[in-house]
Amino acid sequence: MPSNQPLRISSDVPALSEFSLIDRFFARRAARAASPVALGIGDDCALIAPRSGKLLAISTDMLVEGRHFFADVAPGALGHKALAVNLSDLAAMGAEPRAFTLACALPRADEAWLAAFSDGLFALADRYGCALIGGDTTSGPLNLCITVFGDVDAGTALRRDAARDGDDVWVSGTLGDARAGLGVARGEWAAGARAAVAFRAALERPEPRIALGRALAGVARAALDISDGLAGDLQHILDRSNVRAEINADAVPRSAALATLAPDVQRRCTLAGGDDYELCFTAPAAARAAVGAAGAAAGVAVTRIGTIRALSAPSERPAIAWRDAAGAPLSLTLHGFDHFHAD
């Protein structure tokens, strides 16, 4: 693409050119991540050498101001989250992160903002040895688009279409805190000071479950990361695998902070929240000990919440049957987050 106009900090400060901006805040720091890429930033394309016996896992996620984050969010948290939501997709596939590209539209070249943003971004990238290998930079309304590249052993990728009759359904960590934090920010409900801090951390700094995803590759069957709420996301596994599920709504794990809110708010946040970035996965009952060992090795709690069942007739649609702790059916109308419908 042709270069855009220089990005101006303000009228009395010299313009920071697109190239010096890329160099200072992205290219120079990218060199720190030690990932086995063949050619990084600076040429027309980056080159990645696939490792033998592995498949490349590729995913893109875009973050748009006003839609995915508030205009005044701390830039360090935004840098973290922009990469975290992408790494979460690699985790859900059982893949190991290797590299990423960053395409960004920036309203202005604010040096303090860029420094904090790239600090947050590279702190997470360096932790997972995931190298920034290219991107695109333009002026415009704030928009961040990252593509991640990972690899996974051929045959062990955790696909959405792999759930089978009798599988246990599991989730990692706890669900609902990020949605609770959004509700506090929007004034939908109030929380005590300590709970509010926990909710905000969950919303702004999700931790991609990379170690768990890799430990589950070859153990679990189907998996995905919960970005739009458990109800909507588990439905994707059911649709792709052509099965149904029985889920104990009361078994869905929640944090001590979430347990301080009203029961109906807890249920809404855990089952139909969003921005959780925990893994939901299925595994045969015979793999229970192996799933527990994978969680222990990754340092992440794993909780069994239900069972996959075969459809009883070809006309039956894949769906979730919700039950409470006593096994009584619950009729819940829950929908995952959909950008083209009001939530």
Residue 22 in contact with ligand ADP, rule: CB under 6 A: yes
Q: How far is the CB of 48 from ligand ADP (least distance, A)?
A: 13
Q: What is the DSSP string of 169-225?
A: EEEES--SHHHHHHHHHHTSS---HHHHHHHHHHHH-----HHHHHHHTTT-S-EEE
Q: Of 43, 136, 161, 343, which lies in the binding site for Mg ion, with binding defined by CB under 5 A? A: 136
Kindly write down the DSSP assignment for every residue of 57-125, as one continuous string: EEEEEEEEBTTTB-TTS-HHHHHHHHHHHHHHHHHHHTPEEEEEEEEEEESS--HHHHHHHHHHHHHHH
Nearer to Mg ion among residue 101 and residue 303 (C-beta): 101
- Residue that is written with structure tokens 């992440």 in the block: 300
104 contact, one of ligand ADP, Mg ion, none, CB 5-8 Å limit per kind:
ligand ADP
Which C-beta is closer to ligand ADP: that of 40 or that of 181? 40
**Measured between alpha carbons, how far is 46 from 5 in angstroms, rounded to an integer?**
25
| Count of residues that bind ligand ADP according to CB under 6 A | 15
DSSP letter (8 states) at residue 102: E
Those residues with Cβ within 8 angstroms of residue 11's Cβ, 6 or more apart along the chain or in another chain: none
Stretch that binds Mg ion, among 87-95, 128-136, 230-238, 252-260 (CB under 5 A): 128-136
Q: How far is the CB of 123 from ligand ADP (least distance, A)?
A: 16
Binding of ligand ADP by 1 (CB under 6 A):
yes
For the CB of residue 145, give the shortest distance to Mg ion in the complex, in Å.
Answer: 13
User: DSSP code of 51?
Assistant: P
Query: In this complex, which beta carbon is closest to ligand ADP, that of residue 131 or of residue 238?
Result: 131
* Three-class secondary structure of residue 241 per DSSP: helix
**Contact flag: residue 26 with ligand ADP (CB under 6 A):** yes
Residue 338 in contact with Mg ion, rule: CB under 5 A? no
User: Smallest distance, Å, CB 268 to ligand ADP?
Assistant: 37
CB nearer to ligand ADP: pick between 137 and 255? 137
1 sits near Mg ion (criterion: CB under 5 A): yes
Distance CA 277, CA 226 (A): 5
Q: At CA 255, angle to CA 253 and CA 256, rounded to 5?
A: 130
According to DSSP, residue 41 is labeled: B
First CA to last CA distance, the chain: 37
Question: What gap in Å lies between CA 181 and CA 275, rounded to an integer?
Answer: 10
Report if residue 180 touches ligand ADP, rule: CB under 6 A.
no
Rounded to an integer, what distance in angstroms lies between the CA atom of residue 96 and that of residue 70? 30
CB of 23 to ligand ADP, least distance (A): 8
String marking each residue 28-67 x if it binds ligand ADP according to CB under 6 A? -------------xxxx-----------------------
On whether the CB atoms of residues 17 and 6 are closer than 8 A, the answer is yes
Q: Among the candidate windows 107-115, 135-143, 162-170, 270-278, which touches ligand ADP by CB under 6 A?
A: 135-143
Task: Give 36 or 140: the residue with its C-beta nearer to Mg ion.
Answer: 140
3-state helix, strand, coil in the chain (%, to 5): 35, 25, 40
* Binding residues for ligand ADP restricted to 279-298, rule: CB under 6 A: none
Which of 133/287 has CB closer to Mg ion? 133
Q: Which pairing describes strands 143-153 and 54-64: parallel, antiparallel, or unpaired?
A: antiparallel
Residue with smaller CB distance to ligand ADP, 41 or 320: 41
Distance CA 236, CA 30 (A): 35
How many residues lie near Mg ion (CB under 5 A)? 2
The reply on whether position 137 binds ligand ADP by CB under 6 A is: yes
Residue 135 interacting partner from ligand ADP, Mg ion, none (CB closer than 5 to 8 Å by kind): ligand ADP
Sign of CA dihedral 209, 211, 212, 218: positive
Q: Which residues bind ligand ADP (CB under 6 A)?
A: 1, 22, 26-27, 41-44, 102, 104, 132, 134-137
Q: Which residues bind Mg ion (CB under 5 A)?
A: 1, 136
